[in-house]
């Protein structure tokens, strides 16, 4: 076996005038990296950059992303002590486990804050006993809803918690309605506390049930959403009706029972414990007086009623105009404040890897000056590690010397004033100016708050069978121009390849026949010179994988038509003849890819 570069240099390839010819006599043997087919590096705001290898890890289905991320980081620290050399630095550029943990913490904080706010408001307006009743009804409703989630296989995630926060305002409605009416009837002392409790519940039973049914009907269409939004909205479609239903059940069972036991003493003795609540309406006088002053004028005067109705209509029109005139963006989900964004770069097809890398460095020079940027990772000639957004948009298929990605990582949102979307809006014109100057097409990609889509707007160009593909391309160029003139439309791109040339070798069959060179020998020589070959492997004791021995012509001797014309081919007589004597190299237009959809 070959075990080192010295073994390769000592290989005898021929005998010349009785003397052996070794490989080191006719070739340069290099023990090093292969020719770069792509570049990847990490950069920092201080201007330092390092070659980088990115390792992306994905969790298995059903596992906790937070725990998996923590275990991986712990393992990395252990590897630093035994495997990773001291000169190799490990940088965590993406940690969706930490992001998920922060989201869950924020949602839980919001949930507890909302519960405390509602309970405190009830305690201030109705009393602490009534607040205790409502405070107990909320966790009961949530617990029952989460139990059903467990039975259906839903996990407690960000969507589930968001659904619980959304339903909190609905969950407290029925308990508040019942406990308020029970309190009112008990304190009126027209009936015994038990009968007053039953009467109060029965009195508001129809509206309580109807409100619950109305909410369930409102959220029922979410069950029928298809596509990628279906699984995303399914927990919300299930949790809101579930929590509201269990809230109604709690309002009809737990709330009357607990309200009776906490308030019955006020219905039995008028001024028990000096409260002074017994036998009177507990609604404060200033509330009644203020309500009368606000409503009575409109009830007694037709003109004032008409003015009120007109004002309501005008306000509705004004609120709708905010959307029409784009003062308020109309979105299904709000922008999320992420700690990252991505710049996707496309150069014209045929652009060399080095030229694309030069363009990427121009963007890096701008990005490193942004105060919010902590680091960036550039991928030239290849795609960046896949994420959910890249999976949908097929970014993982991006390969070639004309493509590049830049993953930009921002400081934590608690350490910066602007949200990530505001930062992207701020720098968009500067990035577009750089792209226009360097003839690059860029897309500034933010991590979407919900399921991603391929693009916001997609136009597909079809034509009759008699239309040529070039005519379809011309039509797409017109539509692309029209879109570029529309306000708020950015990142316009198409799948049309840039016209470019390739080099063809036209073989002179008469000359090849005279020299005794076959067409196959010419093809093999060109293939060996341009693409190389792997005739052997090196086996090392400490290596898990064999090292390839690659035979190829130096880049400097295969970078132009003049260089290619000087490549020699062995003739039938053993002499060498240059390719320039056997034919000529010419530039011809590269065939463009023709795309079909649905066999059209």
Q: How does DSSP assign 532-576, residue by residue?
A: -EEEEEE--TT-SSPEEEEE---GGGSSSHHHHHT-EEE-TTS-E
- Asked if residue 369 is part of any domain, the answer here is no
pLDDT at position 599 over 70: no
Alpha-carbon 85 to chain mean position: 33
Residues 66, 101 contacting (CB under 8 angstroms): yes
For residue 43, is it within any domain? no
Mind giving me the DSSP string for 324-379? HTTSS---SSPPP--SEEEEEEEPPTT--HHHHHHHHHHHHHHHTT-TTEEEEEEE
401: in domain: no
The answer on pLDDT for 597 being more than 80 is: no
Q: Is residue 211 part of a domain?
A: yes
In a domain? residue 434:
no
Q: Establish if 149 belongs to a structural domain.
A: yes
Given this model, what pLDDT does residue 231 score?
A: 76
Q: What is the pLDDT of residue 283?
A: 66
pLDDT value of position 598: 67
CA atoms of 498 and 479, how far apart (whole Å): 17
Say how far apart CA 529 and CA 231 lie, in whole Å.
53
Rounded Cα gap, residues 134 and 126, in angstroms: 11
Residue 454 confidence (pLDDT) above 60: yes
Task: Indicate if 199 and 234 belong to the same structural domain.
Answer: yes
Whether residue 326 is contained in a domain is answered as no
At 305-315, the pLDDT tens digits run 999 999 999 99
Residues whose CB is less than 8 angstroms from the CB of residue 501 and which lie 6 or more positions away in sequence, other chains included? 350, 587, 588, 589, 590
pLDDT at 278 over 80: no
On the CB side of 142, how many CA atoms lie within 13 Å of its CA? 23
337-396 per-position pLDDT tens digit: 889 999 999 999 989 999 999 999 999 999 999 999 999 999 999 999 988 888 888 898
Q: Would you tell me the crossing angle of helices 158-171 and 128-152 to the nearest 10 degrees?
A: 140
Considering the domain architecture, whether residues 6 and 124 belong to the same structural domain is answered as no
What's phi and psi for 406, nearest 5 deg?
A: -125, 115
Per-residue pLDDT for 280 more than 60?
Answer: no
Cα 12 to Cα 327: distance, rounded to the nearest angstrom: 78
pLDDT attached to residue 275: 43
Confidence of residue 272 (pLDDT cuts 50, 70, 90): very low
C-alpha closest to that of 455 among 415, 483, 422: 483
pLDDT of 600 above 60:
no
Query: Would strands 12-16 and 547-551 be described as parallel, antiparallel, or unpaired?
Result: unpaired
State whether 181 and 276 are in the same domain: yes
Mark which of 301, 321, 341 sits at the end of a domain: 321
* pLDDT at residue 218 greater than cutoff 80: yes
> At CA 378, angle to CA 373 and CA 380, rounded to 5?
160
233 and 310 fall within a common domain: yes
- 427 assigned to some structural domain: no
Confidence of residue 214 (pLDDT cuts 50, 70, 90): very high
* Average pLDDT of the residues in 160-184: 84
Residues 66 and 83 in one domain: yes
In this structure, the answer to whether residues 189 and 121 fall within a common structural domain is yes
Pair 173, 197 in one domain: yes
User: Residue 291: how many CB atoms within 10 A of its CB?
Assistant: 11
Residues 74 and 174 grouped into a single domain: no
| 509 and 584 housed in the same domain | yes
Least confident of 126-130, 394-398, 412-416, 552-556: 126-130
Beta-bridge partner residues of 446: 341
pLDDT tens by residue, 89-139: 999 998 888 888 887 787 778 778 878 888 888 888 778 888 888 888 888
Does residue 120 share a domain with residue 258? yes
Chosen domain end from 281, 296, 321: 321
Mean pLDDT of 204-221: 91
Q: Cβ–Cβ contacts within 10 Å for residue 62, how many?
A: 7
Tell me which residue of 305, 388, 296 sits closest to 342, measured CA to CA.
388
Q: Which of 161-170, 318-327, 414-423 has the highest mean pLDDT?
A: 414-423
CATH of the domain at 588: 3.30.2090.10
Question: Does residue 329 surpass a pLDDT of 80?
Answer: no
pTM of the entire structure?
A: 0.78
pLDDT at res. 279: 54
Find tokens 């097929």 and name the residue.
394
> Average pLDDT, whole number, for the chain?
87
Separation between Cα atoms, residue 268 and residue 262, nearest integer Å = 12
Name the domain count of the chain: 5
Q: Is the pLDDT of residue 271 over 50?
A: no
- Tell me: do 489 and 508 sit in the same domain: no
51-55 LR contacts (CB < 8 Å, sep 24+) = 52/91, 52/377, 54/93, 54/377, 54/379, 54/384, 54/385
Highest mean pLDDT among 55-64, 306-315, 488-497, 570-579 belongs to 306-315
Q: Which residues of 519-537 are buried (b: 16+ CB within 10 A; e: fewer)?
A: eebbeebbeebeebeeebe
CA angle centred on 553, ends 548 and 555, rounded to 5°: 105
Provide the edge-to-edge strand list for the sheet that holds 403-410: 49-51, 39-43, 373-380, 403-410, 340-346, 441-446
Instruction: Report the C-alpha gap between 368 and 410 in whole angstroms.
Output: 11
What CATH number does the domain containing 305 carry? 1.20.1640.10
Q: Give the pLDDT of residue 232.
A: 75
Domain coverage including residue 314? 98-321
Predicted local distance difference test score (pLDDT) of residue 111: 77
292 and 304 co-located in one domain:
yes
Running DSSP on this structure, what letter comes out for residue 273? G
- Residue 273: predicted pLDDT: 42
| Model confidence band, residue 276 (pLDDT cutoffs 50, 70, 90) | very low
Indicate the residue among 298, 321, 344 that finishes a domain: 321
């Amino acid at each position: 076996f070959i075990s080192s570069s010295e073994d390769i240099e000592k290989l005898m390839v021929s005998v010349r005038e009785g003397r052996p010819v070794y490989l080191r006599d006719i070739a340069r043997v290099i023990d090093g990296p292969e020719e770069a087919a792509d570049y990847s590096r990490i950069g920092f705001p201080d201007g330092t950059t390092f070659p980088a290898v990115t390792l992306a890890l994905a969790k298995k289905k059903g596992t906790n992303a937070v725990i998996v991320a923590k275990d991986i980081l712990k393992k990395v620290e252990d590897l630093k002590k035994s495997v990773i050399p001291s000169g190799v630095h490990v940088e965590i550029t993406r940690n969706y486990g930490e992001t998920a943990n922060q989201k869950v913490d924020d949602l839980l904080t919001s949930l507890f804050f909302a519960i405390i706010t509602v309970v405190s408001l009830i305690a201030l307006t109705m009393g602490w006993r009534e607040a205790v009743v409502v405070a107990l009804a909320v966790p009961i409703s949530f617990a029952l809803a989460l139990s059903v989630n467990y039975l259906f296989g839903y996990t407690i995630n960000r969507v589930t918690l968001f659904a619980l926060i959304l339903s909190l305002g609905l969950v407290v409605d029925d308990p508040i309605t019942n406990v308020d009416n029970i309190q009112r009837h008990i304190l009126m002392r027209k009936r015994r506390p038990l009968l007053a409790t039953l009467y109060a519940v029965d009195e508001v039973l129809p509206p309580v049930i109807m409100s619950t049914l109305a909410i369930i009907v409102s959220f029922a269409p979410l069950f029928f959403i298809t596509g990628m939004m279906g699984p995303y909205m399914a927990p919300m479609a299930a949790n809101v009706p579930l929590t509201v239903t269990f809230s109604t059940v709690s309002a009809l069972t737990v709330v009357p029972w607990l309200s009776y036991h906490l308030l019955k003493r006020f219905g039995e003795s008028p001024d028990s414990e000096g409260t002074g609540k017994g036998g009177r309406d507990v609604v404060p006088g200033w509330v009644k007086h203020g309500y009368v002053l606000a409503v009575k004028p409109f009830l007694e005067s037709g003109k004032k009623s008409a003015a009120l109705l007109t004002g309501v209509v005008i306000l509705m029109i004004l609120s709708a105009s905010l959307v029409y005139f784009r003062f308020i963006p109309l979105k299904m989900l709000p922008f999320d404040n992420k700690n990252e964004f991505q710049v996707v770069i496309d150069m014209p097809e045929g652009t060399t890897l080095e030229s694309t890398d030069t363009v990427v460095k121009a963007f890096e020079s701008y990005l490193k000056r942004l105060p919010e940027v902590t680091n960036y990772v550039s991928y030239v000639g290849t795609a960046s590690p896949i994420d959910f957004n890249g999976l949908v948009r097929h970014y993982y298929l991006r390969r070639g010397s004309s493509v590049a990605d830049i993953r930009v990582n921002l400081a934590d949102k608690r350490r910066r004033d602007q949200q990530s979307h505001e930062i992207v809006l701020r720098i968009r014109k500067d990035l577009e100016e750089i792209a226009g100057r360097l003839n690059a097409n860029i897309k500034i990609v933010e991590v979407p708050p919900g399921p991603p889509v391929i693009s916001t707007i997609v136009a597909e160009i079809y034509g009759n069978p008699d239309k040529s593909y070039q005519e379809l391309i011309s039509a797409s160029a017109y539509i692309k121009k029209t879109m570029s003139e529309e306000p708020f439309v950015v990142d316009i791109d198409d799948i049309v390849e840039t016209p470019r040339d390739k080099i063809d070798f036209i073989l002179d069959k008469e000359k090849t026949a005279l020299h005794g060179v076959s067409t196959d020998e010419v093809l093999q020589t060109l293939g060996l010179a341009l693409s190389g070959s792997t005739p052997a492997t090196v086996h090392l004791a400490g290596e898990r994988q064999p090292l390839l021995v690659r035979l190829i012509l130096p880049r400097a001797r295969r970078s132009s038509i003049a260089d290619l014309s000087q490549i020699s081919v062995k003739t039938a007589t053993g002499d060498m003849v240059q390719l320039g004597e056997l034919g000529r190299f010419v530039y011809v237009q590269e065939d463009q890819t023709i795309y079909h959809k649905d066999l059209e």
